[in-house]
Structure 1
Amino acid sequence: MTSRHDPHTGLHSEQGARPGEHPGRASDPVVKVHDLAWLEFRKPDLERAERFAGAFGFTSVLRTADELHLRCTDPGSPCVLIRRGPRSRFVGPAFRAADRQDLLRLADATDRQVTPLPESLGGVTVDLTDPSGARVRVVSDTHELPALAAQEPQTLNFGRDAARVNAVQRPPREPAGVQRLGHVVLQTTKYLETLNWYLKNLGLVVSDFLYYPGQRDRGPVMSFIRCDRGRTPADHHTLALVLGPADRYVHSAYQVADLDALAAGGEHLLDQGYRRSWGIGRHIQGSQIFDYWRDPDGFLVEHFSDGDLFDCTLEPGWAPLTTSGLAQWGPPATKDFLGISPGRESLRELRAVIGALRADNEFDVRRLRGLLKAGTS
C-alpha cells in the first residue's frame, strides 16, 4: 500500500528563522502605525467604478464629477478613494497613526511636513514615498463615519451542536456587506529595501516569509506584514510585499461576515456579469477564506473571512513559495490570478521581466528561475 504525498507538508510555516536570517522587524522603528486607513486609485470612469463597488458590497459616501469615496460598514474613514484620471492606476495606501504625536515624530525623522487633508476627509497627513515609488500616507484625526447596519453571520449547526432548530438556512443572494479594509499586496523590484523601509518607518512586523524553492540562502521574496499593536491582536497581514519584475499593485482585500456572505455575494457578482478571478478557497498564510474578483478596470479585489490574528509575541514563519501552497483547499490558482492569462496583462508582465533583467534591482536571472519554479510547484 502506497501513501499519498500531501503537497502542503512543510508549507504551513510553523518553522522559524535560521541563524542570521531576517528578523522580520526593526529594532527601533520611527512609529508604529495602527492600521490601514484607505487605498487611493485613479480611474477614468467613475460611474462604472461605482456600479461595481455597489455589487461588491461598498457604500458610496461622496460622489462628485471627479471623486468617489467608498466606505465599509465598520466606523471610520472611507476605505477606498477614487479620483478621475486619464488612466487606471493605483496611487498608494494610507495608514492610520496611533496619534498625532506619531505624525510629528515621523515628519521630523523623514524631513517631511504635516499637512491638512481635504475637508471631506478631515485630519492631517505625512506623505512619504517608499523605495518602489508608491506614495504612502500616514494620517491622523480624520472624520469618523458612524457604523452602518452590518450583515449578520448565519447561525450554524456543527454536528450535534445545534444552534438552529425549526429554522431553515437561506442566505440572500445580495452584495456581500464589506465590513472593513483588510490588506493590500504590492509587488516590488526592490523587495528587501522596500521591506526594511516599512519596518523601520512604520513599525510593521513580519508574520510570514516565503522564499523561492531551493533559494532560501538568498533570502525571502515575499513577506506578510502586520501592524504591531503590542498584546492587542492584529490581522496576520495588513501589507504584503512580493519581489517581481515591476513595481505595481497586486490586490486588496475586504472582510465580510462569513462564508455564506462571501459565497452568496459572489453569486450576486456573477449575476451582474462580473468575473471571478479565483476562489472560493482557504489560504495557508493568514488562513482566510477567499474569493477574488476583477473589477472593470482590471484591479484584483478579494472578499475574505475568518483570517488569523497575531499579537506582538509571534516570530515570523518561513516557507517555500509555491503555487500549490497558496491554498489549503479550493480550486487551483488560475492563470488570471497569477497574471499569466494570454492578453495585455501577460504581455505587460513579459515586457517588465525583460526590463527588470536589464536594470539594477533585485530581480535577476536566478530569481526569474525561482519564480518559474514556484509557478509550477
Structure 2
Amino acid sequence: MSGAHTDLHAERGALRGEHAGRSRDPVIRIADIAWLEFDKPDLVRAEAFARAFGFGVALRSPQELHLRGTEAGAACVILRRGPRTRFAGAAFRAADEVDVLRLSDKLGVPVQRLPEPIGGLSVQLTDPSGNAVKVVAGMHELPAYPSQAPQVANTGCGDARINATVRPPRVPARVQRLGHLVLQSTTYRRTLDWYLDTLGMLVSDFLFFPGQRDRGPAMSFIRCDLGSVPADHHTLALALGPADRYVHSAYEVCDLDALAAGGEYLHDRGYVRSWGIGRHIQGSQLFDYWRDPDGFLVEHFADGDKFDNSLEPGWAPFTASGLAQWGPPATSDFLDTSPRAARHQLTSMLTALRHDNEFDLNRLIGLLKVAAS
C-alpha cells in the first residue's frame, strides 16, 4: 500500500512485492507482552537499581525477585539468582487459556502450569534466534498500586493550572508497566516471520540499511493485533545484527516530568544514562535510556503511539540520526560502538560472518553505515 504513511509516522509505505508485515493465518493473536525473565548474580544490587528506576516488588525470596508496575496484572520482570547476568526469555499474554491450548495442539508442545505465585497456564516455545518464549494466560492478578499523577499543564490551547505551580520531586519515576522488548538476531527475517505467523503480531514500521532497500528490511517494530482496539506502536522490535541478543526493554511512566525527575534521581545515585532525553520517530515515545549495574539497557518512556490493525507498515532508512525527532545525538554507548563494546562487537561480527545466517558482508557494511549516518 504505497504512500499509506505519508505525513503520518514514517517516510512512506511499501513498494510492490515487499514484506506485508502480517501473517495471513496466524496460529493465535497475543494480547500483550506479559513479563521478561533475567538471571542475575546479585539480587540485592539488582533490587536497589530496580527501586531507583521505579519498580515495585511483588515477591522476594533468596532465589527470585519479581518486579511490578503500578498497573494491575502480573509482575513485569522476574529476576532469578544465577552465575552470570543474562536475558532468559520473554512471556507474552494470550487472549485467554483457549489460545494457550490451541498453540499446544498446533505446535505439539505440552501445556504447563506456572508456579503458584504467578498462577495460570503456559506453553514454552523457542523462536528461531534461540530466545525462550512463553505464551501465558490465567495468571493471578496483582492489584493496582497508586501511580504518579501527570502534571497539569498550561498550554496555548488553555490554562488548566491556576494559582498553582509545577514542582515535580526528584523521586523514582514510578513504572506503570512493561511496554516493549528489543532483540537483535542473525536470522532476522526468519525470526520476524515466526512472531507474525505464531503470535499474530503486525509490523508498524520497517527500517532498511542505507542503500539496501532491495535486500529487504533490517529492523521491524511489531505490535499486537487487537483488531479495532488500538495497541502500542511496538511490543517487540527486531533488528538484524551480528549476534542473537537482548538489546533493551522499555517501561512506561506517566509523563515527561516523571521521566526527567526520575532520571535526576538515578543520576544522583551514580547510575549511568546511556542516551536521552528525547522523542523517537518510530513510535513517537519520549525516551530516556539507562544502564543497570550489570550493563543491561533499560528505558523509561511516555506518550507513545497507538495503532489499530487497519494501518499498513511504514518504510524508512535505518540511520542513527533518524532514531529521534529531537534530543541529543545517539551516543556510542547506546549504539554499542563505544570502546567498552568494541571488542565484543568485533568478535560477534567475525563469528557471524563465518556462519550461514542473514548477516553477511554486505549487511555488515550496511550496519556500519547506520552508526555513521
TM-score scaled by length of structure 1: 0.96
Residue 249 of structure 1 is aligned with which of 223, 243, 246? 246
Instruction: Indicate conservation of the 8 Å contact 1:11/1:325, yes or no.
Output: no
> Following superposition of structure 1 onto structure 2, how do residues 206-217 of structure 1 map, counting pairs within 5 Å?
206-217=203-214
> Following superposition of structure 1 onto structure 2, how do residues 110-129 of structure 1 map, counting pairs within 5 Å?
110-129=107-126
> Following superposition of structure 1 onto structure 2, how do residues 323-334 of structure 1 map, counting pairs within 5 Å?
323-334=320-331
Q: Give the match for residue 6 of structure 1.
A: none
Is 1:102 aligned to residue 99 of structure 2?
yes
SS at match of 1:273: coil
Residue 52 of structure 2 is aligned with which of 32, 50, 55? 55
Task: Point out the more displaced range, 24-33 or 101-110.
Answer: 101-110
Q: Give the match for residue 369 of structure 1.
A: 365
CA RMSD, Structure 1 to Structure 2 (Å): 1.2
Structure 1 unaligned spans of 5+: 1-8
Distance in 2 of aligned mates of 1:368 and 1:17: 24
Is 1:228 aligned to residue 225 of structure 2?
yes
* Aligned residue identity for 1:16: G
| CA deviation map 1:67-110 (0-9, x unaligned) | 00000000000000000000000011100000111011111111
Q: Which 4+ residue blocks in structure 1 deviate beyond 2 angstroms?
A: 9-12
> Following superposition of structure 1 onto structure 2, how do residues 95-244 of structure 1 map, counting pairs within 5 Å?
95-159=92-156, 161-244=158-241
Structure 2 unaligned spans of 5+: 1-5
| CA deviation map 1:351-372 (0-9, x unaligned) | 0000001110000000011111
Instruction: Indicate conservation of the 8 Å contact 1:32/1:97, yes or no.
Output: yes
* Aligned residue identity for 1:248: R
SS at match of 2:349: helix
Q: Give the match for residue 30 of structure 1.
A: 27
In the TM superposition, residue 159 of structure 1 has moved relative to its aligned partner by: 2.5
In the TM superposition, residue 346 of structure 1 has moved relative to its aligned partner by: 2.4
> Following superposition of structure 1 onto structure 2, how do residues 274-289 of structure 1 map, counting pairs within 5 Å?
274-289=271-286
Q: Give the match for residue 295 of structure 1.
A: 292
Percent of aligned positions with the same letter in both sequences?
67
SS at match of 2:105: helix
| CA deviation map 1:116-163 (0-9, x unaligned) | 010010001000000000000000000100000010000000036111
Distance in 2 of aligned mates of 1:32 and 1:12: 24
Distance in 1 of aligned mates of 2:343 and 2:118: 38
SS at match of 1:312: coil
* Aligned residue identity for 1:39: L
Q: Give the match for residue 71 of structure 2.
A: 74
Distance in 1 of aligned mates of 2:63 and 2:339: 33
In the TM superposition, residue 61 of structure 1 has moved relative to its aligned partner by: 1.3
TM-score scaled by length of structure 2: 0.97
